[in-house]
Amino acid sequence: SQNLFDLLFPNAHEGWAFGLDGVILKTRNGEQWEIAHRNGASLNSVTRHHLFGSAYFDGRLWAVGERGAVIVSEMGKGAWQKADIKSPPLSLNGIDFGPDGFGLMVGNRGLILRTLDGGKSWHRLTLHSQGAGKGLSRSQ
């Protein structure tokens, strides 16, 4: 069994679970799950970190986690890649996107990263209070 931290269902047919040591599980029906990744077997070393949050936007799956880990996959392609994001090595605990491409990542020590272009570029926001961001949501 695996410790899991987040679930993502980008549509009614596919689901993903993310967890300890970079484990990623996939389902097509919600009943049977298969291991899509475990312990660096099919991804580069950044995904050996715990994965705490996930999101879907514009055909891409995103997962964030320990020590600034950010990975992305094109829906239906199966391959996960390390995202090219300049982030300090702080844990990222949540990610979300709005329908217009606005997105946020939150993490430890008040870390907030923002995108206005669907994840092509990310910029750090300054927060005047320090804390561990655990999650986020955007009202529509």
pLDDT at 130 over 70: no
Cα–Cα distance for residue pair 123/17, rounded to 1 Å? 27
- Range of weakest confidence among 41-45, 65-69, 119-123, 125-129: 41-45
* CA 15 to chain CA centroid, nearest Å: 14
More confident residue, 134 or 89: 89
Q: Which residue has the tokens 């570029």?
A: 121
Burial of 129 from C-beta contacts in 10 A (0-12 / 13-18 / 19+): exposed
pLDDT at 140 over 90: no
Q: Mean pLDDT for the chain?
A: 85
CATH architecture of 4-125: 6 Propeller (2.120)
pTM over 0.95: no
pLDDT at 102 over 50: yes
